[in-house]
Amino acid sequence: MTELEKLCENALYDEIKILEDGKSVVRDVPTGKLYFKKTLDVYNEHVYAFLRDHKNRNVAAVQAFWKDGESLVVIEELIQGRTLDEILRASEASGSGETETSGIGRTESESAGISQGLPFSERIDILSQICDGLEFLHSADPPIIHRDIKASNIMVTDDGIVKIIDYDAAKIYITGQDKDTMMIGTQGLAAPEQYGFAQSDVRTDLYALGKLIERMLPGNVDANRIAKKATEMDPKKRYTSAAQMKAQILRIREHTSALDQKFEKIPGFDPMNKSHRIRARIALAAAVVAAVLILTGTGWRFIVYPARQEEAIRAELSAIEQIKGTDEKIQTVVEKFAEEHPYSKMTAEQKQSVRDEIADTQKRCYLAGNTENADAIRDILTRYYGEETTWEAISLYGKAEAEIARKSFEEGLSALYKLREEEAVDAQRHWEAGVDHTLSAARKAMEDFRETGSAAGIHVIANALNALEKYDTDSDSELDDIYKELLTSAAGERESQHWDKASLIYDALLDAGVGDSDELSLLKQETLYEEAEAAFAGKEYDKSSKRYSELGDYKDAAEKYKESIYLKAVREAENGSFQAAVTSFESISGYKDADERGAEAKYRYCESTCEEPTSATYKYIEELVDSNYEGAEDLQNEIYKWRASISTGMAYSFGSMQSAYIRAKLSGGPPDATTTVTFRIDDPVGNDSDTWSDGKEYKSGDTAEVNYSEEESSYNLFDRSYKIWVYADGGEQIGYWEGMISTEF
């Protein structure tokens, strides 16, 4: 960025309050919005580029950034709230008998009622939102690793929204890199790989999240188990995604039974899984009744083996989840899974997990444009598991959800609706998910529209509304509210004279087929009319004529169109743009005195181009003569005269051998006529005269040339003055030049 660009960028933001370490609160001059400004010496520019172009409710939004020498200046969302560290300290103080001043989203009086600090449910909600933010960062391609997840880097807004902040330590994951180039993180919270033993990846942030869980839910058995897995020294033993951790966090119980704590010793037992708890109790009852059978191996077959099998299935499905849709090895991994885990021997829950993961895998393949992988996976599962219709449906779910992810809502929902009508396996679940994703896309685009005012996402909103409305998805009230809000926004844009934005909203709704088309068409016409009227009043006749033309016979648009063109033509003629004026006047022939003014513009154009006529000159003068326009015949005679523009230059000069060229560029003459050219060169000093003609026929625009040479001379050819005449047919003089011949080649 140049110094001028940096000055312009800085000028957009007024400094309101200076904080510490080069940080400040600034106001965006055009919008009046407040932002947080900071200057970084350690940073990853690619991270801030991604966060500027992609938004998420749980990650502090980056408005802009630019380089300032070796530093990076960042303009970031200003978050109203407290850090999680402040909240936890206040909560810990409250738990120890000290007074807590406030809770998340509560007034001081409401918070005073919490005697034991931050409630369990709010702690779970905070951790869940942190997972959502991490999932967003990790879903970048390549993934963004924060590398400093801790309570002081988590903000909680006054209405309970969690925001991950401070990406100073963040990095882009680089495939194949052995270890981090810089060791960054908070001592005691950073994963082992951040000390240079390996490269950080998504599991590095999950390690730090595990440490945060230890602080937020101390003594909770379920939470401790999650934290223990997340903070394994070996990254391969940790959770593989934030979504996986979120699923576990949402199942944490505030109080665990003593019986479940005993069951934890069973390999593969998950006390947070209701089905596990039920099965464990059944197994315990069976153990009491059939102790002998347990001793002879039945216990292994009915308790341990299923648990271990489930753990293996989960682990391998998780591995499939990490493979990109473009990677051919995904076929090999899926085939190995199908070979080792017969579908017929799985529990209903396991089968559901397999179908869900394969549908998600198919979605990744279709999003990557790799239908070959998608088809191969479908064929592999059909070959090993049978049930061809099941795996065909699963593949179609992936394809439909990929369409929705690409914002092709109509195509995606149409496919899901058809599968639901056919009562395909899992059809209702995928239909509901598709509807939810479509509605979420509309909400997100609407949120961006509210925050930025940019109409770029209006077509996304309109297409989502149309698809949801078409399939009657029980969202009528919300859809109606969004539709009304769009109309209100369009009305506001019209009031602010931003007619292009208002038109964009109406066009998007009309294109998508949302709402009352007659009403929208009328609103669009009125918007164009208002814009045309404003342009006309401002003498922007090009713009007003274009808008009136688009309106056709709406109100008095047709008449206003002619008047716009008329006034535009008058101004063109006054400015000397006679040919443009002719075109404009001719387009409204018969209006007022447009024909007379058009003829005058033609005459003026012919006058201005008389010495170097163009094709338009000949056309206009013939029309003027045919219409007996005053003075046209005399002007035509002038236009039809031949003219020659003479130039000279050096051809060569070697001692006494000298040669000059003389050129005559022709213009004028009757239309399509030709003439011969004769040169006469007089040397007044040497009392010498030469005449030359090649007998060729030349037309307007051609150049005739003669070489004037002295092979043996005691004087310099370029040292004296000459007179040159050029004649056309019949000896008519058409050009004259006098002076010294140029020495330019």
Q: Assess contact for 143 and 72: CB atoms under 8 A.
A: no
Cα Rg of the chain (Å, integer): 41
Element (H, E) at 703: strand 703-710
Residue 106's pLDDT is 39
Residue 307's pLDDT is 66
Residue 297's pLDDT is 46
Q: Assess contact for 135 and 242: CB atoms under 8 A.
A: yes
Q: For the residues 3-30, what does the mean pLDDT come to?
A: 79
Among 63, 66, 93, 69, residue whose Cα is nearest residue 8: 66
- Higher pLDDT among residues 539 and 107, named by residue: 539
How does residue 19 score in pLDDT terms, banded at 50, 70 and 90?
A: confident
CATH assignment of 642-740, among 3.40.50.720, 2.30.33.40, 3.40.605.10, 2.60.40.10: 2.60.40.10
Q: For the residues 154-161, what does the mean pLDDT come to?
A: 94
What are the residue boundaries of the structural domains of the chain, listed by start? 3-77, 85-255, 256-322, 642-740
Neighbouring C-alpha atoms within 13 Å toward the C-beta of 315: 10
Q: What is the mean pLDDT of the chain?
A: 86
Asked if the bond preceding 142 is cis, omega within 30° of 0, the reply is yes
Least confident of 139-143, 563-567, 619-623: 139-143
Residue 114's pLDDT is 30
CATH superfamily, domain at 85-255: Transferase(Phosphotransferase) domain 1 (1.10.510.10)
574 Cβ contact partners less than 8 Å away, ≥ 6 residues apart: none
**Residue 454 pLDDT > 90, yes or no?**
no
How does residue 715 score in pLDDT terms, banded at 50, 70 and 90?
A: confident
Sheet bearing 62-68, strands edge to edge = 13-18, 24-28, 34-40, 71-77, 62-68
**Residue 692 pLDDT > 90, yes or no?**
yes
- The two tokens of residue 273 are 């899984």
Residue 605's pLDDT is 97
Q: Assess contact for 100 and 111: CB atoms under 8 A.
A: yes
Residue 191's pLDDT is 67
Neighbouring C-alpha atoms within 13 Å toward the C-beta of 58: 15
Integer Cα distance of 648 and 671 in angstroms: 28
Residue 22's pLDDT is 72
Q: Assess contact for 147 and 204: CB atoms under 8 A.
A: yes
Percent of the chain with pLDDT over 70: 84
**Cα→Cα distances 693→675, 698, 724, 740, Å:** 11, 12, 13, 22
**Residue 560 pLDDT > 80, yes or no?**
yes
Integer Cα distance of 479 and 470 in angstroms: 12
**Residue 300 pLDDT > 60, yes or no?**
no
pLDDT digits (tens, 9 = 90+) for 478-506: 888 888 888 999 999 999 999 999 998 89
**Residue 305 pLDDT > 60, yes or no?**
no
Determine whether domain 3-77 maps to CATH 3.30.200.20.
yes
Q: For the residues 25-45, what does the mean pLDDT come to?
A: 89
Rounded to two decimals, the pTM is 0.48
**Cα→Cα distances 267→237, 249, 271, 297, 475, Å:** 15, 20, 11, 16, 45
How does residue 12 score in pLDDT terms, banded at 50, 70 and 90?
A: confident
Neighbouring C-alpha atoms within 13 Å toward the C-beta of 294: 12
pLDDT digits (tens, 9 = 90+) for 532-550: 999 999 999 999 999 999 9
How does residue 467 score in pLDDT terms, banded at 50, 70 and 90?
A: confident
The reply to whether 3-77 and 85-255 are identical in fold is no
DSSP-assigned states of every residue in 518-579 = HHHHHHHHHHHHHHHHHHHHTT-HHHHHHHHHHHTTSTTHHHHHHHHHHHHHHHHHHTT-HH
